[in-house]
Amino acid sequence: MATAARMPSVTLSETPLAEFAAEVRAGLTKPGQKELPSKYLYDEAGSALFEVICLLPEYGLCRAGARLLKRHAEDIADLLPLPVAVAELGSGTGAKTRWMLEALARRQAVNYFPIDISRSALWRCSQELGWIDSVSVVGFEHEYLDGLVSVASRRGPGEHLLVLFLGSTIGNFDRPAGEEFLRRVRGILHPGDALLLATDLEKPVPDLLLAYDDPAGVTAAFNRNLLARINRGLDADFDLAQFEHEVRYEEGERRIEMHLRSRSAQTVHVPLAGLRVSLRPGETIWTESSHKYNCREVAEMGARAGFRCAAQWTDAEWPFAQSLFFTQ
């Protein structure tokens, strides 16, 4: 019998325009290297472009993460103390999460709390996952840590929390900030709670460069869309054709960097940020970092942040790891 898709209940707190303007302003007026926060890559167009990136043969990251959960969700569920509610940092489209929720729903009824700053992502994820039997979805339109505080306060008596951080978004932080982020997550959790952390692993540099500079130009469009978003949201006049997508692998930091390189001397106006920015020919705006790890360093980083690494699963085809941590 057909039933209507369950309507998610979503608690809202949109990024205020003033905060967007202030962050754009801070990044573009930074002395030396100009930069923009990578979280702003994910408006509706950016999220759709990222989904296409995940389909590209050169970009194996999403498929590796999904394969690992498909293969090991039961093993992960076997290691968790029940009952457990699930909080997810970055709801994505929920494809990987499905395997985890289905494994848990075979054991107990599941409260699932996706946390994302993108309302459209939350809607789509609850459309995807709200249908699973014994799973109820409450979305939180928040920054990760604010959302996690709200979710943690909603847990039932005796209910543990499993935090999913599956997008390998931790790679967007530099290493010290990533560790600090884990420490903050740990601070919100209680004894017996768990964290499943996805990280992309080191792999041959040519593979990485191709993954972030695909021949079809989807990643280039994803990168330039950040400027389009600033045009739309802050009434700016970036000419996207005047910026080239550039990808570098920094050996010392073991990270991919995405930049937008100015093709000419140009001045851009961002009225709602009260800003006029001049760019030299060849000057770049740094838009994203994606750090690459090895398994041991992930376990050690978690340990320094107050977690115990109970198990790790890796994908052979596209080096990638899921690490299960417990508070202790």
- Which residues contact ligand AVJ by CB under 6 A? 53, 61, 167-169, 171-172, 212, 219, 288, 290
CB nearer to ligand AVJ: pick between 46 and 139: 46
Q: Which of 177, 165, 143 is nearest to 65 (CA)?
A: 165
Structure tokens at 73: 């969700």
Minimum distance of ligand AVJ from residue 197's CB (angstroms): 12
319 vs 326, beta carbon nearer ligand AVJ: 319
Q: Which is nearer to ligand AVJ, 171 or 178 (CB)?
A: 171
Rounded distance between C-alpha atoms, residue 326 and residue 308, angstroms: 5
84/256 with CB nearer ligand AVJ? 256
The nearest distance, CB 169 to ligand AVJ, in angstroms, is 5
Helix (H, G, I), strand (E, B) or coil at 246: strand
Residue that is written with structure tokens 């394969």 in the block: 67
Rounded to a whole number of angstroms, the minimum distance from the CB of residue 133 to ligand AVJ is 30
Cβ 293 to ligand AVJ shortest distance, Å: 12
**Residues 328 and 203 sit within 8 Å (Cβ to Cβ):** no
To 5 degrees, how large is the angle CA 134–CA 137–CA 139? 170
Is residue 314 classed as helix, strand or coil in its secondary structure? strand
Instruction: Identify the H or E element spanning 102.
Output: helix 95-105
Would you say 38 or 327 has its CB closer to ligand AVJ? Answer: 38
Q: Residue with the closest Cβ to ligand AVJ?
A: 290
Separation between Cα atoms, residue 242 and residue 225, nearest integer Å = 13
Nearer to ligand AVJ, 284 or 290 (CB): 290
Question: Least distance to ligand AVJ from the beta carbon of 61, Å?
Answer: 5
Angstrom distance (rounded) from CA 328 to CA 324: 13
Residue among 234, 221, 199, 250 at smallest CA distance from 51: 221
